[in-house]
Structure 1
Amino acid sequence: MPRAVILTNPASGKGRGVRRRDEALPQFRAAGWEVEAHHGLDADASLALAHEVVATRPDVLVMCGGDGMVNLGLQAAAGTDVPIGVLPAGTGNDFARCFGLPLRDGAAAARRIVHGRERSVDLARIGERWYGGVLAAGFDAVVNERANKMTWPRGQARYNLATLAELRVFEPLRYTLVLDGAERELDAMLVAIGNGPSFGGGLRIAHGAELDDGLLDVVLIKPVSRLELVRTFPKLYHGSHVNHPQYERHRVRKVTIASPGIVGYADGERFGPLPLSVECVAGAVRVRA
């Protein structure tokens, strides 16, 4: 009998995590799976629990929550033969989008895990930490920093206000990049390092990035006016920003990025101040979808 262990973030999506888990459980049982359900009290407890679960070698470790919860699962499963599955229940769900998973139906997502194939995909590694999506290290990261310091309002509205506040004062940033050993200095509005194509709930900043090509997509948006930045933003949902004259893309195995005062975010998590060195690890994790 195959065994699945579901780890849930009960705070995801104002309770959506619990609802998605409860929708999924009958699907596993009906298909003859043994299934366990757990949750940690906080991120540290959930990470420790994920490592404990992987050590028991289940047939799949299922992460129920948003991109941050999936990121915890990646830390535990990367480099092992234990595949992860995803029950999307967050705001962005960008890792789940890479596999075309149903975002609002826990039962349908569970069936994709039960009947799906395993696929080896790449991950990006910074030191001993992994991410599956995109590292934000520019205007988008500055917005994240501002939003995280705000206590009001809650949810997406907080990020909208932080975006408006930053737009009033933001200036191009000075970057030093080392792209597969070649150093370059430039000014840009943002630099994003994609293992996958999207962040922020479907913003395809690294449009064209593939999860199994062994490469990172380094995307630059070179200096534009604040008004032009606002005009360009909606194009990210379709990937049509790639036609903008200030867009630039490099595909590399390793990149080091530095910019004074900027903090990098990936999979919705704070990875720390630049400089950061990012490398692509081919086939680092197995995903059942």
Structure 2
Amino acid sequence: MRRIALLTHPGAGRGRGARARSVVLPRLRDAGFEVLDLVGRDVDEARRLAGAAVADGVEALVACGGDGTVHLALQHVVPAGVPLGVVPAGTGNDLARELGLPADPRAAADRIIAGPRRTLDVARVGDRYVATVVACGFDALVAERADAMTWPRGPLRYVAATAVELRSLAPRRYTLELDGRVRTVEGVLAAVGNTSSFGGGLRITEGAEPDDGLLDVVVVRSLDRRGLVRAFPRLYRGTHTTHPAYEHHRVRSATIAAADITAYADGEPLGSLPLTVTAVPAALTVIA
């Protein structure tokens, strides 16, 4: 592998993505790689640059940023069968955390240079591919709120967004179709995970394995504000799975329906519910 592309978060003139790029780019070139340096001024330009690089035959596409940058890259590498590298430099970095990738950009570049490979599943929603978790409830409202915030930085942004959204917490009526089985439930949160965490380490779909060919569907049934505040710290530890309001299913396909929810995946908006999420086994090769 000698000709690769480095995709940095769109508009990364400053911040973590730019700092990581300034380390990773010379490190890869010093190791003998021909590196196409892709920095779009906005998401649309970054998308065009990534697509052109993959079509031109690069041997890997490296996403330097957070889960949103990974999500952008995923749309090109999965159909083309091109390996994905990840340099974690974003807000959540949940895929990098799942893969045990180092947070230090130099160490992450060295992992890409070493070139170990692993095959993962992805989730598919319509024509979009997802690496981590599709959020479909209170979790989606938090993601939407965090996406609009500029402060604080890092995972604390999700904590702040959660505090704001708790003020208007209300349960919703969900209709779930899980591998053809239909049920309804009142809940405050629903998520479909290919991996175990979202939002900077919230282990909502604890136990999810990204290479088992299945999706992990989690529903948190109706809780009041105080109950959710008490349960929230357990999400970081993955110990919420014993909570009486928690339920967990493993499926190949899930359709989630509820009113007034925009689903988020990899920290990016997907669209309004209902949505169908399908497992696509062994669809992604990662350098990890």
Global fold match (TM > 0.5): yes
C-alpha change, 1:184 and 1:76, in structure 2 (3 Å) is same
How far apart are the structure 1 equivalents of 2:25 and 2:51? Answer: 22
* 8 A Cα contact 1:176 1:258, kept in partner: yes
Aligned twin of 1:249: 248
Amino acid at match of 1:254: S
Aligned twin of 2:102: 102
Deviation at 1:159, TM superposition (A): 4.9
Deviation at 1:14, TM superposition (A): 5.0
Deviations 1:172-193 (A, max 9, x none): 1100000000001011110110
Structure 2 residue 250 is the aligned partner of structure 1 residue 273: no
* 8 A Cα contact 1:79 1:285, kept in partner: no
Between stretches 30-39 and 156-165, larger displacement belongs to 156-165
Structure 2 residue 56 is the aligned partner of structure 1 residue 67: no
How far apart are the structure 1 equivalents of 2:38 and 2:28? Answer: 15
SS at match of 1:209: coil
Deviations 1:80-135 (A, max 9, x none): 221010111101001111111112x1110011111132222111101101110001
C-alpha change, 1:145 and 1:31, in structure 2 (3 Å) is closer
How far apart are the structure 2 equivalents of 1:256 and 1:13? Answer: 39
* 8 A Cα contact 1:10 1:17, kept in partner: no
How far apart are the structure 1 equivalents of 2:42 and 2:164? Answer: 30
SS at match of 1:189: strand
Between stretches 268-277 and 28-37, larger displacement belongs to 28-37
Kindly, what percent of the aligned residue pairs are identical? 53
How far apart are the structure 2 equivalents of 1:12 and 1:274? Answer: 31
Deviations 1:150-196 (A, max 9, x none): 7x756467655543333223121100000000001011110110011
Amino acid at match of 1:287: V
Deviation at 1:140, TM superposition (A): 1.6
Aligned twin of 1:128: 127
Deviation at 1:32, TM superposition (A): 2.2
Task: Figure out how many residues of one structure are paired with residues of the other and give that number.
Answer: 287
SS at match of 1:54: helix
Alignment of 1:76-115 (within 5 A): 76-103=76-103, 105-115=104-114
Moved over 3 A (4+): 10-14, 144-150, 152-162
SS at match of 1:255: strand
How far apart are the structure 2 equivalents of 1:58 and 1:51? Answer: 10
- Cα-Cα RMSD: 2.0
C-alpha change, 1:206 and 1:88, in structure 2 (3 Å) is same
SS at match of 2:199: coil
Deviation at 1:226, TM superposition (A): 1.1
Gap regions ≥5 residues in structure 2: none
C-alpha change, 1:8 and 1:148, in structure 2 (3 Å) is closer
Amino acid at match of 2:236: Y
Alignment of 1:21-32 (within 5 A): 21-32=21-32
* 8 A Cα contact 1:11 1:17, kept in partner: no
C-alpha change, 1:111 and 1:53, in structure 2 (3 Å) is same
* 8 A Cα contact 2:143 2:199, kept in partner: no
Structure 2 residue 206 is the aligned partner of structure 1 residue 204: no
* 8 A Cα contact 1:10 1:18, kept in partner: no
* 8 A Cα contact 2:78 2:284, kept in partner: yes
Deviations 1:250-289 (A, max 9, x none): 0000000000111100101000110001100011111112
Between stretches 75-84 and 27-36, larger displacement belongs to 27-36
* 8 A Cα contact 1:10 1:16, kept in partner: no
SS at match of 1:285: strand
TM-score for both structures, normalised by structure 1: 0.93
Between stretches 228-237 and 162-171, larger displacement belongs to 162-171
Between stretches 11-20 and 24-33, larger displacement belongs to 11-20
How far apart are the structure 1 equivalents of 2:236 and 2:14? Answer: 25
Structure 2 residue 4 is the aligned partner of structure 1 residue 4: yes
How far apart are the structure 1 equivalents of 2:136 and 2:249? Answer: 15
Deviation at 1:239, TM superposition (A): 0.5
How far apart are the structure 1 equivalents of 2:250 and 2:13? Answer: 34
TM-score for both structures, normalised by structure 2: 0.93
How far apart are the structure 2 equivalents of 1:125 and 1:275? Answer: 14
